[in-house]
Amino acid sequence: MRTYKPFDVFNKTFISILALLCTLPLLLVLIVSITDERSIQSRGYSFFPDQWSFDAYRMLFSGSSPLLQSYIVSITVTVVGTLLAVMITSMAGYTLAARHVRYRNGLAMFFFVTMVFNTGLVPWYMISTKLGLQNNIWALIIPSLVFNPFNLFLARNYMKQIPESLIEAAKMDGANDAFIAFRIFFPLSLPVLATITLFYGIGYWNNWFNAIMLVDTPNLYPLQYLLFKLNSEISMIQQMQSTTASLSTSLLPTESIKMATAIVTIGPIVLFYPFLQRYFIKGLLIGSVKE
Amino acid sequence: MNLSLMKRTFQEIRKNHIAYLLALPAVIYTFIFGYLTLPYILISFQKFNYKLGIWKSPFIGLDNFEFFFMSDRAWQVTFNTIRLNFLFIVVGTAAALLLAILFNELKGRRFSRIMQSTILFPHFLSWVIVSYVLYSFFASNYGLLNQTLDWLGLPQENWYSEPRYWVSILVSVNVWKEVGISLVIYLAAIAGIDNSLYEAATIDGANRRQQIRYITLPLLMPTVTILSLLALGKIMYGSFDMIYAIIKDNGLLYPTVDVIDTYVFRSLRTIGNPAQAMAVGLYQSIVGFILVFGVNLIVRKVSPDNSLF
């Protein structure tokens, strides 16, 4: 194989270029976020701006900017939602995996049907509003997010591999199903629980659909939705400025502040990325094997 | 249901009541957000009125469907949805296959892992973030592309008002964001190929290219087929997140990139006609269901292990 040296060099270079293409666009967003507004106005977005400035971040992190409020909303929704979702999913996963439960396959069918036939947006919206899931934090947590049959089957398939004899032995010692699930099955299923935690966590952090459908009070905007709104509504930025006096220039950093918000929104994902990708890849590989 | 069956059911639930209780939250959730949505299908045949609700609103037959199918929008959004998804599948698969083969030829494992992580990264970003990335390139005033065109002395283009560019842009950005996932799956499939095949081929004098052509590619085909078929089953569902984050309510771009999901969204929220929105949604669900069902039949023939049901 030594004879393929030139190809190896080409291959490594080519792949590096592709990987660069995956990161450069994000780098541009980062650079624009720390570019001085006048520099943007004269030369547009650029990898090599004339002048740097952290005004955008200064404005974002000033006391009354909506960013902090949205950050709190996003973190609350992600933490509470993910915890609830993982609980609901793993408990049901145990029931479907336990062989002594006679109707487990009937139950699995019950969940599966909704995966294949989806009635879509309108009934979902109407039921959510009917349940009072509108303009409150639960609207961002419960509808369509807190339980996902795909994750349920992921958990079940993993738990199925745990030997039934463990359940029998525990029952002999007088343990009930709740005890077996929480004390025996869940600790043995940590890899798959980590994976579904990650799927739900990412789902919550990146979700803005619930906000666009069910929320219209700005203090309930999650980060992603704030970001979505920011690009179309300059008024939101102007409002930010009126409450921020400490800027070094009088020029409003309209462009850089959008990009700075985007960067701040990516932040946690970058932070957790080593963990994310490890369990994500595991989950992908578990998920692609059925039964 | 006869008496003894009821008794047996009752006994089973009593015996394992804690196990069933554990599943209860998921059951309630699925009942409400899954099964209770079914009656709402009725409103697609009604002149729906919020005050009267689904049981009392007057029925008007197929008028809501007629409104949609008689307009030229029906054909347009259906065509756009299918065209975009089809291109996502074809271009995405080709790109991932090529990448997987190149990655498999890499010598250093560390390098390979780092590059995989980098290419997977955009998958974790929301479409809103991606819309900002696109905006920084295509914005008409400050965008990188127009600045570059200007610098080269070429005329600038108003990207956000030219529908003809957006199919290619969306296909490219979809590959950019999602290619890492298929790459990981294909690499796992390649790793599963029996090494003795390659050894035998080497002894018979096959070079690397021949090994790729006659061993790697053919053995990857089942995985490729399954993933493509499963994606094909979902071809009627456009990605609302993607289209609405990037296009928003920019009507200029509707001719090429408005999809069924964004159309339904607007009927419900902007126009405020839930009955029409439901009619279009029902059309999508039914065609979508037939496709999933049909595709599943095929998958079951090709590879029973990978079928959905």
Instruction: Please name the residue that has the structure tokens 């349940």.
Output: A131
Rounded to whole angstroms, how far apart are CA atoms A253 and A240?
11
Residue B226 resides in a domain: yes
Residue B48 resides in a domain: no
In CATH, what number is assigned to the domain containing residue B156? 1.10.3720.10
Contact call for residues A88 and B25 (beta carbons, < 8 A): yes
Structure tokens at A240: 């930010």
Q: Which of B23, B144, B278 sits opposite A95 (nearest CB)?
A: B23
Residue A2 resides in a domain: no
Rounded to whole angstroms, how far apart are CA atoms B229 and B98?
19
Contact call for residues A252 and A102 (beta carbons, < 8 A): no
Partner residues linked to B46 by β-bridges: B59
Q: Indicate which of B38, B57, B136, B308 best probes the interface with A, i.e. most A CBs within 10 Å of its own CB.
A: B136
DSSP at B58: P
Rounded to whole angstroms, how far apart are CA atoms B40 and A129?
14
Of all helices (H) and strands (E), which one includes residue A228? Answer: helix A223-232
Residue B110 resides in a domain: yes
DSSP codes, A154-169:
HHHHHHTTS-HHHHHH
In CATH, what number is assigned to the domain containing residue A241? 1.10.3720.10
pLDDT tens for chain A, residues 1 to 291: 455 678 889 999 999 999 999 999 999 999 999 999 899 988 889 999 999 999 889 888 887 788 899 999 999 999 999 999 999 999 999 999 999 999 999 999 999 988 888 888 999 999 999 999 999 999 999 998 899 998 999 999 999 999 989 999 999 999 999 999 999 999 999 989 998 999 999 999 999 999 999 999 999 999 999 999 987 766 666 666 655 555 545 577 888 889 999 999 999 999 989 888 888 887 777 765 443
Residue B25 resides in a domain: no
Rounded to whole angstroms, how far apart are CA atoms A235 and B247?
20
Residue A223 resides in a domain: yes
Rounded to whole angstroms, how far apart are CA atoms A247 and A265?
22
Residue B216 resides in a domain: yes
Q: Is A144 left (phi over 0), alpha (psi -120 to 50) or beta?
A: left
Contact B124 A269 (CB under 8 A): yes
Domain that holds residue B129: 73-306
Type of residue at B199: E
Q: What is the pLDDT of residues A53-99, one digit of tens each?
A: 998 898 888 877 888 999 999 999 999 999 999 999 999 999 999 99
First to last CA, chain B: 26
Residue A53 resides in a domain: no
Residue B261 resides in a domain: yes
Domain that holds residue A218: 68-287
Q: Indicate which of A83, A122, A146, A284 best probes the interface with B, i.e. most B CBs within 10 Å of its own CB.
A: A122
Contact A92 B133 (CB under 8 A): no
> What is the tally of structural domains in chain B?
1
Query: How many Cα atoms are found within 13 Å in the side-chain-facing hemisphere of A98?
Result: 30
Rounded to whole angstroms, how far apart are CA atoms A155 and A290?
12
Contacts of B277 in chain A (CB under 8 A): 121-122
Query: How many Cα atoms are found within 13 Å in the side-chain-facing hemisphere of A17?
Result: 7
Residue B49 resides in a domain: no
Residue B60 resides in a domain: no
> What is the tally of structural domains in chain A?
1
